[in-house]
Amino acid sequence: MKFFIDTANLDQIKEAQDLGILDGVTTNPSLMAKEGITGTNNILKHYVDICNIVDGDVSAEVISTDFDGMVREGEALADLHDQIVIKLPMIKDGVKACKYFSSKGIKTNVTLVFSPGQALLAAKAGATYVSPFIGRLDDVSTDGLNLIGEIRHIYDNYAFETQILAASIRHTMHIIDCAKLGADVMTGPLSSILGLLKHPLTDIGLEKFLADYNKGN
């Protein structure tokens, strides 16, 4: 399972990278705004800064909603750095743009996916990644994890190569459950990743090992 961090915060990206378990980064316009990164030039520079910290794929989202605009923007984003993945919304022109980029060998991430049908279309269009938003489904009393299972089933039926990127992860248990269901990638906040470390028996056990070692010193 690949681990992506879902943030535009450079300190958090560095912390996850330093841990040695980071495979990539996802961002979106809201995450950029949260870090105070606004204006096209600043946003483009920020993508390059992120690429210079991590080794893996970095999703950069287009804001156009028409095919020509998405292609124009996506090509400019792809030119920024070879780690950039073009993030496209799951709308009709987004599917067309996904097909356009995948035919050219440019990586894509189809985002804002909330149903198995949308995920099927993304795979048909050759998406590298599909991003089902599990937390936002949970927010509206719909089981987000169930969607991960449905997409896994459909993709396995036809050996689609599109990777399921479980997004809108909110906490550590989401990561565990997505791993059980066979999501290829998860993207979540640093807190959800660091939560995987924690177990009180680890802390108690380590404390005792150190205390016992120190008895002889």
Q: Considering the complex, state which of residue 24 and residue 126 has its C-beta at the smaller distance from ligand G3P.
A: 24
Q: Residue 121 in contact with residue 101, Cβ under 8 Å?
A: no
Query: What are 168's two structure tokens?
Result: 């809108």
Q: Considering the complex, state which of residue 81 and residue 170 has its C-beta at the smaller distance from ligand G3P.
A: 170
The Cβ-side half-sphere exposure at 174, using a 13 Å CA radius, reads: 29
Q: How far is the CB of 73 from ligand G3P (least distance, A)?
A: 19
Burial of 46 per CB tally in 10 Å (0-12, 13-18, 19+): middle
Residue count of the chain: 217
3-state secondary structure 101-148: HHHCCCCEEEEEECCHHHHHHHHHCCCCEEEEEHHHHHHCCCCHHHHH
Region from 23-31, 35-43, 102-110, 153-161 binding ligand G3P, contact rule CB under 6 A: 23-31
Q: Residue 217 in contact with residue 199, Cβ under 8 Å?
A: no
Q: Does 22 bind ligand G3P (CB under 6 A)?
A: no
The whole-angstrom separation of Cα 103 and Cα 87 is 15
The whole-angstrom separation of Cα 20 and Cα 41 is 30
45 is catalytic: no
Using Cβ positions, the residue closest to ligand G3P within the complex turns out to be 167
* Residue of 12, 28, 108, 109 that binds ligand G3P (CB under 6 A): 28
* Residue of 102, 108, 162, 168 that binds ligand G3P (CB under 6 A): 168
Q: Does 135 bind ligand G3P (CB under 6 A)?
A: yes
180 closest CA partner among 152, 157, 138, 139: 152
Residues 176-205 contacting ligand G3P, CB under 6 A:
187
Number of residues that bind ligand G3P (CB under 6 A): 11
Region from 34-42, 132-140, 150-158, 200-208 binding ligand G3P, contact rule CB under 6 A: 132-140
Q: Does 29 bind ligand G3P (CB under 6 A)?
A: no
Q: Does 109 bind ligand G3P (CB under 6 A)?
A: no
* Residue of 101, 129, 133, 155 that binds ligand G3P (CB under 6 A): 133
Q: How far is the CB of 207 from ligand G3P (least distance, A)?
A: 35
In which residue are the tokens 């970095």 written? 58
The contact set with ligand G3P (CB under 6 A) reads: 6, 26, 28, 31, 133, 135-136, 167-168, 170, 187
Active-site annotation, residues:
87
